[in-house]
């Protein structure tokens, strides 16, 4: 219980509810928070409601501060008004724009406790200037804690590292659904950080040696037209499918033999632990927090970024060697059950929120 034996009111502030790992994290957190300790709401600064049905299914009260395509001055004004009027006891900000305006306005409105999230390698959220406005900072990888200390001079005691989590009952192996053809799946936004064109080049190299291989790219983003042109010009329409982003990626994971991520930069991508929970070995780039998730040679294979030839070679290795592929998938799921359970993530987050609240400034 809290100090007053009443639930602590908490507002989690997001920029939008578009498909994304941080949005999934927020919904998962709010769904499972102990309601005897916390009374949560989800505040959203702009439109983009791909994941709104999931929030509704989880019984989360969503407060839309704006439905515009961009974060407008009116949305910021609504945020300030709501902070002053409702005055939550904890404001938990996630993603760059909420981390900037939430901390500034939270301090001005004298919200008792401000907790911020740091879940990207180099988010443009004025961290050097604003970290002192956070009673606590939660990140999901040790590499991010190191960056905050080294680059932004954040006090180490202010940072809590809480790894991402997955519902292993929701994401689980489905051997009967696996495609009979060797199938590789990627899930993510088609943006520069994911290096989607190098991903396609690796797929082209694999298809040249394994013509029966199938590749599914699940996601949307600005690179999609360029990717469609690449597929057309390289006569790869029979091998590569571009599928729209979806709230439920389990069907794609269940069809796959291998999950792949070719990112140029990453923090700690939630989709990797979802793939591992589904029993898939992972081929990924050795960037950011990925080596904290994928044990090279045990639960997957890691390669250097911007190297489609190495990426292709790792994919071919696993597609053609079941004696390596299957045990990697099994070990990956066991690692998720041990280190990335929902219960562990929720318990650690609740403890961090309570610690921040009890040590708040007067």
Residue 2, in any domain of the structure = no
Helices and strands of the chain, counted as H and E runs = 14, 13
Task: Please give the average per-residue pLDDT across 208-223, as a whole number.
Answer: 97
Residue 168, in any domain of the structure = no
Q: Which residues, other chains included, contact 255 with Cβ-Cβ below 8 Å and sequence gap of 6+?
A: 177, 178, 179, 183, 185, 216
pLDDT at res. 189: 93
> Per residue in 300-350, pLDDT tens?
999 999 999 999 999 999 999 999 999 999 999 999 999 999 999 999 999
Residues 13, 159: one domain? yes
Round to whole Å and give the CA distance between 121 and 288: 7
Residue 219, in any domain of the structure = yes
Task: Please give the average per-residue pLDDT across 51-65, as a whole number.
Answer: 94
CATH number, domain with residue 72 = 3.40.50.2000
Q: Has residue 360 got a pLDDT over 80?
A: no
Residue 262, in any domain of the structure = yes
Residues 186, 293: one domain? yes
Residues 134, 256: one domain? no
Residues 52, 181: one domain? no
SS3 34: coil
pLDDT at res. 4: 54
Residue 311, in any domain of the structure = yes
pLDDT at res. 362: 39
Task: Please give the average per-residue pLDDT across 193-213, as a whole number.
Answer: 98
Residues 125, 196: one domain? no
DSSP annotation of 71 reads -
The DSSP bridge pattern shows strands 8-14 and 38-44 to be: parallel
> Per residue in 236-249, pLDDT tens?
999 999 999 998 99
Query: Which domain range does residue 82 map to?
Result: 8-163+342-358
Number of domains in the chain: 2
**What does the angle CA 179 – CA 308 – CA 262 come to, to the nearest 5 degrees?**
65
pLDDT at res. 20: 85
Q: Has residue 120 got a pLDDT over 90?
A: no
Residues 212, 315: one domain? yes
Work out the pLDDT band at 123, boundaries 50, 70, 90: confident
The DSSP bridge pattern shows strands 90-93 and 113-118 to be: parallel
Q: Which residues, other chains included, contact 57 with Cβ-Cβ below 8 Å and sequence gap of 6+?
A: none
Task: Please give the average per-residue pLDDT across 134-143, as a whole number.
Answer: 96
Residue 3, in any domain of the structure = no
Average pLDDT of the chain to the nearest whole number: 95
Task: Please give the average per-residue pLDDT across 158-186, as a whole number.
Answer: 96
Residues 102, 190: one domain? no
Round to whole Å and give the CA distance between 218 and 167: 20
Work out the pLDDT band at 122, boundaries 50, 70, 90: confident
Task: Please give the average per-residue pLDDT across 95-112, as a whole number.
Answer: 96
Residue 57, in any domain of the structure = yes
pLDDT at res. 361: 52
Residues 137, 266: one domain? no
Cα distances from 201 to residues 71, 97, 173, 204, 206, in angstroms, run 35, 34, 28, 5, 9
Residues 94, 205: one domain? no
Residues 311, 188: one domain? yes
Q: Are 278 and 171 in contact (CB under 8 A)?
A: yes
pLDDT at res. 1: 43
Alpha-carbon dihedral of residues 227, 230, 236, 237, nearest 10 degrees? 50
Q: Are 313 and 138 in contact (CB under 8 A)?
A: no
Round to whole Å and give the CA distance between 1 and 301: 44
Round to whole Å and give the CA distance between 64 and 72: 13
Task: Please give the average per-residue pLDDT across 125-140, as a whole number.
Answer: 96
Residues 111, 141: one domain? yes
Q: Are 16 and 42 in contact (CB under 8 A)?
A: no
Residues 301, 248: one domain? yes
Residue 1, in any domain of the structure = no
């Amino acid at each position: 219980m809290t100090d007053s034996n009443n639930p602590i009111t908490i507002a989690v502030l997001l920029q939008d509810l578009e498909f994304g790992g941080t949005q999934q994290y927020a919904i998962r957190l709010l769904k499972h928070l102990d309601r005897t300790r916390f009374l949560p709401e989800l505040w959203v600064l702009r439109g983009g409601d791909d994941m709104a049905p999931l929030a509704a299914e989880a019984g989360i009260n969503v407060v839309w501060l704006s439905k515009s395509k961009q974060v407008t001055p009116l949305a910021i004004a609504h945020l300030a008004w709501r902070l002053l009027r409702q005055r939550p006891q904890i404001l938990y900000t996630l993603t760059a724009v909420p981390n900037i305006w939430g901390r500034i306005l939270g301090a001005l409105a004298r919200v008792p406790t401000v907790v911020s999230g740091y879940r990207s390698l180099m988010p443009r959220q004025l961290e050097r200037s604003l970290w002192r406005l956070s009673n606590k900072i939660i990140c999901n990888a040790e590499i991010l804690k190191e960056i905050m200390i080294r680059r932004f001079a954040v006090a180490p005691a202010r940072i809590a590292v809480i790894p991402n989590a997955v519902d292993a009952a929701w994401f689980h192996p489905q051997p009967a659904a696996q495609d009979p053809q060797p199938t590789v799946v990627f899930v993510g936004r088609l943006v520069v950080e994911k290096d989607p064109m190098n991903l396609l080049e690796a797929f082209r190299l694999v298809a040249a040696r394994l013509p029966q291989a199938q590749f599914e790219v699940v996601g949307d983003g600005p690179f999609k037209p360029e990717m469609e042109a690449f597929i057309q010009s390289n006569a790869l329409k029979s091998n590569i499918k571009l599928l729209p982003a979806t709230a439920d990626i389990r069907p794609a994971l269940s069809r796959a033999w291998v999950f792949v991520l070719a990112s140029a930069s990453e923090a700690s991508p939630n989709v990797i632990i979802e793939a591992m929970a589904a029993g898939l070995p992972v081929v990924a780039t050795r960037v950011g927090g990925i080596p904290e998730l994928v044990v090279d040679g045990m639960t997957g294979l890691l390669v250097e970024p911007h190297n489609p030839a190495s990426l292709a070679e790792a994919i071919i290795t696993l597609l053609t060697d079941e004696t390596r592929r299957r045990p990697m998938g099994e070990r990956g799921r066991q690692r998720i059950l041990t280190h990335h359970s929902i219960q562990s993530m929720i318990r650690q987050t609740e403890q961090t929120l309570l610690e921040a609240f009890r040590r708040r400034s007067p």
